[in-house]
Amino acid sequence: MKIALLGYGKMGKMIESIALDRNHEIVLKIDESNIHELTVENLQKADVAIEFSTPATVLANIQICIDAQVPLVVGTTGWYGQLQQVKDACLAANSTVMYGSNFSVGVNIFFQISKIAAKMMNNFSDQYDVGMEEIHHIHKLDSPSGTAITIAEDILEEFKTKKEWVDVNASENNVTQHRPEHLIIESYREGEVPGTHAVIYDSDVDRIELKHVAHGRQGFALGAVLAGEWLQGKKGFYSVKEMYNFNV
């Protein structure tokens, strides 16, 4: 596969290394120093574009990939308020986009485990409260993480006493008023942590913790390359959940 990398930072470099190991070729690398090279003509030399840039630049990058009709894997988070418009633009142009707040198989398994747990715990919401924690490196631009939002939205679908998630910047001790219907996400920014997410059910008598700890970025990067492979020959707008399709 010929790959265009949009964003050549921590994730772009890891994706390059894994893609080369899997015998793919990198035909275009874009970061903030050479944005003028991001043209429809250059994109059309690739079989897939993989986008890990910034929340401020991702939407323009998605649009140019749709215009070029190059299949696109979007890993950048922090833009899902515009998800419906992007989906409409993709489908109207008969193009191909897959998005995911997290591409690693481990986190996608964790999403499923957490959703099943929320469904079970919903029967005991008179005894258990649920909360979340996420920890990332200090360079991360969005908060809470896109992964935390996916986990939170799955919990809200199943654990009916919670009505909305609320982010608490725990590093700055920014504690907002906690209402029982709020699913609190405590976000911590520490050192170079690649990504830790925990869901905690607490009662008067015990505590259940579900936790995913990424040891590095390899899992995210491999998942993004697998997504590019999976998109070959497909048209449409996909979530990473459709690729893993655990069927539980």
Ligand X SMILES: NC(=O)c1ccc[n+]([C@@H]2O[C@H](COP(=O)([O-])OP(=O)(O)OC[C@H]3O[C@@H](n4cnc5c(N)ncnc54)[C@H](O)[C@@H]3O)[C@@H](O)[C@H]2O)c1
Binding-site residue set: 31, 75-77, 100-103, 137, 146-147
Q: Of 73-81, 122-130, 159-167, 228-236, which part binds ligand X (CB under 6 A)?
A: 73-81
Residues 6+ away with beta carbon under 8 Å from 83: 99
75 makes contact with ligand X (CB under 6 A)? yes
Tell me whether residue 57 or residue 96 sits nearer to ligand X (CB atom).
Answer: 57
Listed in sequence order, the DSSP H helices in the chain are 10-21, 40-43, 58-68, 83-92, 105-121, 146-158, 218-231, 240-244
Tell me whether residue 74 or residue 170 sits nearer to ligand X (CB atom).
Answer: 74
- Contact yes or no for 16/5 (Cβ under 8 A): yes
Q: Checking phi first, is residue 142 left (phi over 0); if not, alpha (psi -120 to 50) or beta?
A: beta
Q: Which of 189, 220, 241, 235 is nearest to 75 (CA)?
A: 220
Known binding positions for NAD(+): 31, 75-77, 100-103
**Which residue from 103, 110, 111, 201 is in contact with ligand X, where contact means CB under 6 A?**
103
Angle at 220 between CA 117 and CA 228, to 5 degrees: 110
Helix (H, G, I), strand (E, B) or coil at 41: helix
31 makes contact with ligand X (CB under 6 A)? yes
Integer CA distances (angstroms), 226 to 143, 156, 213, in order: 26, 29, 21
Residues 6+ away with beta carbon under 8 Å from 18: 218, 221, 222, 225
Q: What is the rounded CA–CA span in Å between residue 45 and residue 71? A: 12
Query: What is the smallest separation between the CB atom of 70 and ligand X, expressed in angstroms?
Result: 14
Number of residues that bind ligand X (CB under 6 A): 26
Tell me whether residue 60 or residue 208 sits nearer to ligand X (CB atom).
Answer: 60
Residue 136 annotated as catalytic: yes
- Pick the catalytic residue from 10, 29, 140, 241: 140
242 makes contact with ligand X (CB under 6 A)? no
Q: Which of 139, 143, 131, 153 is nearest to 198 (CA)?
A: 131
43 makes contact with ligand X (CB under 6 A)? no
Q: Which of 239, 228, 244, 212 is nearest to 100 (CA)?
A: 239
68 makes contact with ligand X (CB under 6 A)? no
Query: What is the smallest separation between the CB atom of 39 and ligand X, expressed in angstroms?
Result: 12
Tell me whether residue 96 or residue 150 sits nearer to ligand X (CB atom).
Answer: 150
- Pick the catalytic residue from 136, 162, 197, 212: 136
Residue 139 annotated as catalytic: no
Q: Of 25-33, 40-48, 88-96, 203-211, which part binds ligand X (CB under 6 A)?
A: 25-33
Tell me whether residue 78 or residue 236 sits nearer to ligand X (CB atom).
Answer: 78
Report the catalytic residues: 136, 140
Query: Which residues of this protein are in contact with ligand X, per CB under 6 A?
Result: 6-12, 30-32, 35, 52-55, 57, 61, 75-78, 100-103, 220
